């Protein structure tokens, strides 16, 4: 596999993301501190006209560096029943991690 892979599709935190070298991706929380190296599982590699899937047996690895931990946007959950005085409010912010793709080799 050459070092000039155009892009890869990786499994990242329950989703699939299209990444290339130098791209920054926000995904579900990954354990680790800022600056740690992480390997992501490639599902598909595209290098010009050559396409390799995980069914063909990808030998390449996608390496990323954790940039920082983040939180997603605030989601308000409000339950209300008319005439009974029942009101319930709950909030949620998803834990996320921002990573930078360093190499696809």
CB burial string 15-51: b at 16+ within 10 A, e below: eebebebeeebebeebeeeeeeebebebbbbebeeee
- What local confidence, expressed as pLDDT, does residue 4 receive? 60
- What local confidence, expressed as pLDDT, does residue 3 receive? 56
- What local confidence, expressed as pLDDT, does residue 18 receive? 93
pLDDT in tens, the chain (105 residues): 455 658 999 998 789 999 999 999 999 999 999 999 999 989 999 887 888 887 777 888 999 999 999 999 999 999 999 999 999 999 999 999 999 999 988
């Amino acid at each position: 596999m050459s070092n000039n892979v155009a892009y890869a599709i990786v499994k990242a935190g329950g989703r699939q993301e299209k990444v290339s070298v130098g791209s920054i991706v926000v995904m579900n929380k990954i354990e680790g501190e800022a600056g740690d190296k992480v390997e992501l599982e490639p599902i598909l590699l595209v290098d010009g006209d050559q396409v390799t899937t995980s069914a063909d047996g990808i030998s390449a690895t996608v390496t990323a560096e954790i940039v920082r931990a983040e939180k997603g946007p605030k989601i308000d959950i409000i339950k209300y029943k008319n005439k009974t005085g029942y009101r319930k409010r709950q909030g949620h912010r998803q834990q996320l991690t921002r990573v930078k793709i360093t190499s696809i080799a």
